[in-house]
Amino acid sequence: MENLLKLCLFLLCLETALSVQCALCRTYKNGECLNGNGTCTTRPGETCMIRRILYASESHNLKSAELRCTDVCKFEVIFYEGLITHTYCCNSEDFCNDINLPIIMD
C-alpha cells in the first residue's frame, strides 16, 4: 500500500512538472482583456498559445489578441487585407504567452 501511495505521488509530481501556467484571455483589445484576465494550466499534449492580429502598417499596432491553453497550435504568420495574424505556441515556462512579451519570429 505504501508503494502504491509513493507511485501516485510521483505521478502527480511528474504531471505537475510537465504542465505550465498560461495567460488566458479570449479577447484582448485596446490594452485590456475584455472578459477579465485569467490563467489556465496545460494538460498533456497542450501548449500555451497567443494569437495577435496586427495592422500591417509600418508600426504594426496591435488590433486584438487571444491567449489560451490549446491542444491544437501551429506557429504561423498570415498576411491578409492589411492585417498580420501572428500565432505563437510555447510550453517552455509559465506565462510564455504573456501579451507583454515581444513577438517571437521563429
pLDDT, position 45 = 96
Please state, for a pLDDT cut of 70, what percent of the chain lies above it. 83
Asked if 66 contacts 43 with a C-beta cutoff of 8 angstroms, the reply is no
Cite the DSSP H helix spans in 1-106: 2-18
CA distance 85 to 80: 8
Per-residue pLDDT at 8 exceeds 80: no
Which letter does DSSP use for residue 14 in this model? H
The answer as to whether 35 is a domain residue is yes
And the C-alpha cell for 42? 496545460
Per-residue pLDDT at 87 exceeds 90: yes
The answer as to whether 106 is a domain residue is no
| Local confidence band at 6 (pLDDT 50, 70, 90 cut-offs) | low
The answer as to whether 103 is a domain residue is no
The answer as to whether 97 is a domain residue is no
Per-residue pLDDT at 9 exceeds 50: no
Cell 501551429: give the residue.
Answer: 74
The answer as to whether 70 is a domain residue is yes
Per-residue pLDDT at 3 exceeds 80: no
Cell 506565462: give the residue.
Answer: 95
Across the chain, mean pLDDT equals 87
Range of the domain at 71: 2-90
* The total number of structural domains that make up the chain: 1
Q: What is the mean pLDDT of residues 5-11?
A: 50
pLDDT digits (tens, 9 = 90+) for 26-56: 999 999 999 888 999 999 999 999 999 999 9
CA-nearest of 3, 35, 37, 7 to 22 is 37
